[in-house]
């Protein structure tokens, strides 16, 4: 069994996603089709990157993830397919959406190709100038699923190798002179948790009595939401390994006015800080 | 064929649902995965309970319904799996979300266990403190699906029995002294229909000329929306067996300012009322 | 493999869609179930018609598309099943939702029947007066999928033939006296592109230097969004073959205040106009 997952910023109401699914089902009926999400904010490559980062690693090897968030559709940006660590396949525009499957987040660059061989497109002679999701990415994902099901996946047939995929800039957290680490909000999730770029290892370094400062407030770093009272602010290491500012049973982002880019500082409160 | 259905308040945009699907596909590739909904309002256990009540009974026996609406994640609330009437399996936090699959809505308590056997979790040694959907509920649902596909479902392997699942309070309608029945709005649906706690059998008792009072207006109880003119208010017995206040081709909730908890009175208008 | 696709205006949060899926899985477990969309605006038959038009043609022959947008549920409007061009099956209320699968958009009227044979309904004696999606359309779609899987699809068993399906009025663009073509906005999509009723062939007639006037502005007709600068307005032939007013990396509809029904004029700017 092989699944083609779909991640887009299309919403579903217009029928664009339905067209992509139909193309896949027409080319390779054995492939399953499953939605990761179609609710990525329009052209928000970073948000899509984080969503993929939270989902893709949990799928079985040989899954094809087709992600179409494409500010540059119709321009000269590349269309790509890649093989990431753990045997996950990625298909989509080279818009930066696969940033978190590249170094320094992985040990090595994924094997990648540019989708120049038009014989794998829906209509080699007339790919729509506006809808590459339907005309390029869905067909390539389906053909790739077929090769995987037949035990012969070969990216090289789709086009020439790509040395390095595009990345978006992921801001780096820094160690502060006076002690502690300064990061920033990367992303606010559905529950109003503000995911930061402060990695779990720094939280461990900061020690057991760490506090976080964000939005003008200070809050304890705890193991889980229920370590604080309902309505209280806290910081926890989220499920993807980054420090998150949270509010138990509430929205930290609206309480603190947090949005991507706002500073978050992690400080130790005791002598246990070190390393 | 066995399906694992998913019901959450996660939305899809953050990739949390995609992670759960990946975990299930990794553990039991033969299981289908289908979305019931990910649009339950955040931590609204009642709304999830009604959604499950409207969906679950129509699935074939041996379907696994994984429902993660979990205000208490990380706290001491139990994680459970249960077998409801008609052979439906339920997996999720014991947050009350399965209320409508317990007495008095069913004849007997579902067979239920607490998910204490960590060997069925994604990583027995390190379940995330914040994401039980991915690390506990999805793996248990997938293992349960495998047992069902192999013809040997056995809840007892997952942990010790639970005598009684948590319930939320479902307000009881009452018979009024002056005649008629007083209930309240439980839930407002996508179309603005206000679902009440007045059951179908009371509507039958009230007789053919019954009226409903809600939001300061009176409206006839009819068989179906089109028994009144476009834009008119009415009350109908909804598809789940409860009286609903509706507006033909419009939103009764916004017309009448209805929200959960607001009173709804059912009265007979003729001598036919009785029983 | 045969898929039943679902298109509704139900949203997913209430559990109505989950009930339809359960009914289908119970009747024909071999059929796949896939969502086209549940986000059609409430009772917007036109929006559903366009979404289906963009999705259905790309599916393999023998797919069953169940579309429930039903302003007239419970009234005397017909319930229908039909076989469209390319072997696509359509099941739903005869509300006009299948307009674009009928002449003049196709060469001939689809073969269609009225769903009067109640033995194919969920409960032949008691179809709910309010939820035909669950009680009529999902069961018929599932039975039809079974017949297709068994190689014996036969619409006539479901009821008597229907000579002509209902249509919504699709406004016709007109040639203007002073030259050029006057159309209107049909639909605004998720990205704020305003899809018009001006067909591709008229754009070709208008020639390479054509301009479009909409919302008080004039903009060039280009091949693809990236032919203009970021933030600039343009008009392109969209993926379904109609002229669209667009804004590169932005929303043309909010920039220009466009909504369905507003005029859009296509003009040639050079002597190349002709034919």
Q: Strand A32-37 relative to strand A3-8: parallel, antiparallel, unpaired?
A: parallel
Q: How far apart are CA A109 and CA C122, in angstroms?
A: 54
Say what the pLDDT of residue A270 is. 58
Tell me which chain B residue has its CA closest to the CA of residue A231. B71
- In this structure, the number of other CB atoms found within 10 A of the CB of residue A89 comes to 27
**B16 has a chain A CB within 8 A of its CB:** yes
- In this structure, the number of other CB atoms found within 10 A of the CB of residue A137 comes to 29
On whether the CB atoms of residues B258 and B215 are closer than 8 A, the answer is: yes
- In Å, how far is A99's CA from the nearest CA of chain C? 21
Say what the pLDDT of residue C126 is. 66
Mean pLDDT calculated for residue range B116-139: 87
Which of C170, C193, B251, C68 shows the shortest CA–CA distance to A11? C193
pLDDT in tens, A179-207: 789 999 999 999 899 999 998 888 776 65
Q: How far apart are CA B171 and CA A81, in angstroms?
A: 55
Q: How far apart are CA C86 and CA C96, in angstroms?
A: 20
Which chain B residues touch A53 with a CB distance below 8 Å?
15
Range of lowest pLDDT (A246-250, C36-40, C216-220, C262-266): A246-250
Contact B14 A54 (CB under 8 A): yes
Element (H, E) at C105: none
Which of B28, B29, B137 shows the shortest CA–CA distance to B89? B137
CA distances to A126, B186, B196, B267 from B175, rounded to whole Å, are 69, 18, 15, 10
In this complex, which of B10, B21, B30 lies closest to A34 when CB atoms are compared?
B21
Contact B26 A58 (CB under 8 A): yes
Q: Which two tokens stand for residue A176?
A: 């502060």
The Cα angle at residue A242 between residues A190 and A247, in degrees rounded to 5: 45
Mean pLDDT calculated for residue range B54-77: 89
On whether the CB atoms of residues B157 and B117 are closer than 8 A, the answer is: yes
Q: Which residue has the higher pLDDT, B116 or C106?
A: B116
Contact A21 C55 (CB under 8 A): yes
Say what the pLDDT of residue A256 is. 96
Q: How far apart are CA C135 and CA C131, in angstroms?
A: 6
Which of A40, A54, A33, A176 shows the shortest CA–CA distance to A105? A54
- In Å, how far is C2's CA from the nearest CA of chain B? 15
Say what the pLDDT of residue C153 is. 96
Interface with chain A: mutation pick from C55, C186, C222, highest number of A CBs within 10 Å: C55
Say what the pLDDT of residue C41 is. 94
What value does the mean pLDDT of chain B take? 91
In this complex, which of B190, B236, B249 lies closest to C14 when CB atoms are compared?
B190
- DSSP-derived secondary structure letter, B193: -
**A263 has a chain C CB within 8 A of its CB:** no
Range of lowest pLDDT (B13-27, B101-115, B257-271): B257-271
Q: How far apart are CA C266 and CA B20, in angstroms?
A: 49
In this complex, which of A40, A58, A190 lies closest to B19 when CB atoms are compared?
A58
Q: How far apart are CA C238 and CA A29, in angstroms?
A: 27
Contact A18 C54 (CB under 8 A): yes
Q: Which residues pair with B266 in a beta bridge?
A: B181, B212
Q: Which residue has the higher pLDDT, B207 or B77?
A: B77
Taking one residue from A and the other from C, the number of pairs with CB-CB distance under 8 angstroms is 113
**C18 has a chain A CB within 8 A of its CB:** no
- In Å, how far is A95's CA from the nearest CA of chain C? 14
CA distances to A79, A128, A247 from A125, rounded to whole Å, are 17, 10, 54
Contact B13 A60 (CB under 8 A): no
On whether the CB atoms of residues B115 and B68 are closer than 8 A, the answer is: no
pLDDT of B271 > 60? The answer is no
- In Å, how far is C191's CA from the nearest CA of chain A? 7
Interface with chain C: mutation pick from B10, B87, B190, B252, highest number of C CBs within 10 Å: B190
**C235 has a chain A CB within 8 A of its CB:** no
**C95 has a chain A CB within 8 A of its CB:** no
pLDDT of C79 > 50? The answer is yes
At residue C270 the predicted structure's pLDDT band, cuts being 50, 70 and 90, is low
Chains with ≥3 Cβ pairs under 8 A against B?
A: A, C
In this complex, which of A21, A76, A128 lies closest to C34 when CB atoms are compared?
A21
- In this structure, the number of other CB atoms found within 10 A of the CB of residue A219 comes to 20
In this complex, which of B20, B30, B72 lies closest to A226 when CB atoms are compared?
B72
Domains of chain A: 3-158 (3.40.50.10790), 174-268 (2.40.30.90)
What value does the mean pLDDT of chain C take? 91
**A128 has a chain C CB within 8 A of its CB:** yes
Mean pLDDT calculated for residue range C105-110: 90
Ranges under pLDDT 50 in chain A? 271-275
Q: How far apart are CA B137 and CA B115, in angstroms?
A: 9
Contacts (Cβ under 8 Å, ≥6 apart) of A151? none
At residue C272 the predicted structure's pLDDT band, cuts being 50, 70 and 90, is very low
pLDDT in tens, B26-55: 999 999 999 999 999 999 999 999 999 999
Contacts (Cβ under 8 Å, ≥6 apart) of B130? A224, A225, A236, A237, A238, A239, B73, B74
Chains with ≥3 Cβ pairs under 8 A against C?
A: A, B
On whether the CB atoms of residues A105 and A99 are closer than 8 A, the answer is: yes
Which chain B residues touch A52 with a CB distance below 8 Å?
15, 18
Contact C226 A74 (CB under 8 A): yes
Q: Which residues pair with C37 in a beta bridge?
A: C7
**B73 has a chain A CB within 8 A of its CB:** yes
**A1 has a chain C CB within 8 A of its CB:** no
In this complex, which of C41, C226, C236 lies closest to A72 when CB atoms are compared?
C226
Q: How far apart are CA A185 and CA A157, in angstroms?
A: 40
How much is the ipTM here?
Answer: 0.90
Q: Which two tokens stand for residue C61?
A: 């022959």
CA distances to A92, C2, C27, C81, C124 from C147, rounded to whole Å, are 37, 10, 12, 14, 19
**A51 has a chain B CB within 8 A of its CB:** yes
Q: What is the three-class DSSP state of B37?
A: strand
Which chain B residues touch C12 with a CB distance below 8 Å?
35-39
Taking one residue from B and the other from C, the number of pairs with CB-CB distance under 8 angstroms is 113
Q: Which residue has the higher pLDDT, C55 or B179?
A: C55
Say what the pLDDT of residue A61 is. 97
Interface with chain B: mutation pick from A17, A34, A187, highest number of B CBs within 10 Å: A34
- DSSP-derived secondary structure letter, C93: E
pLDDT in tens, B199-254: 888 877 665 678 999 999 999 999 888 889 989 999 998 877 889 999 988 899 99
Q: How buried is C110 (Cβ within 10 angstroms: 0-12 exposed, 13-18 middle, 19+ buried)? A: buried
- Mark which residues 30-49 of C lie under 8 Å from B by CB: 30, 33, 35, 42-43
Cis peptide bond prior to C138, omega within 30° of 0: no
Q: Which residue has the higher pLDDT, C13 or C207?
A: C13
- Mark which residues 166-195 of B lie under 8 Å from C by CB: 187, 189-191
CA distances to A115, A129, B57, B88 from B95, rounded to whole Å, are 48, 50, 20, 18
């Amino acid at each position: 069994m092989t699944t083609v997952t779909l991640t887009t910023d299309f919403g579903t109401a217009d029928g664009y996603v339905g067209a992509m699914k139909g193309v896949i089902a027409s080319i390779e009926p054995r492939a399953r089709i499953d939605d990761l999400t179609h609710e990525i904010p329009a052209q928000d490559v970073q948000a899509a990157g984080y969503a993929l980062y939270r989902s893709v690693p949990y799928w079985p090897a040989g899954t094809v993830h087709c992600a179409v968030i494409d500010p540059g559709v119709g321009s000269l940006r590349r269309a790509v397919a890649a093989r990431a660590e753990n045997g996950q396949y990625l298909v989509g525009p080279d818009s930066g959406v696969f940033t978190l499957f590249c170094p320094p987040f992985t040990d090595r660059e994924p094997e990648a190709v540019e989708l120049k061989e038009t014989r794998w497109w829906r209509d080699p002679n007339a790919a729509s100038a506006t809808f590459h999701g339907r005309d390029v990415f869905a067909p390539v994902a389906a053909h790739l699923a077929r090769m995987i099901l037949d035990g012969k996946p070969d990216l090289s047939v789709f086009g020439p190798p790509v040395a390095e995929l595009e990345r978006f800039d992921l801001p780096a957290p820094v160690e502060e002179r006076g002690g502690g680490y300064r990061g920033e909000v990367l992303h606010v999730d559905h529950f109003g948790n503000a995911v930061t770029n402060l990695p779990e290892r720094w939280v461990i370094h900061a020690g057991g009595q760490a506090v976080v400062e964000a939005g003008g407030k200070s809050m304890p770093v705890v193991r889980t939401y229920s370590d604080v009272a309902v309505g209280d602010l806290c910081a926890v290491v989220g499920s993807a390994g980054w420090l998150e500012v949270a509010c138990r049973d509430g929205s930290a982002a609206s309480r603190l006015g947090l949005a991507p880019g706002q500073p978050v500082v992690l400080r130790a409160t005791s002598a246990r800080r070190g390393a």
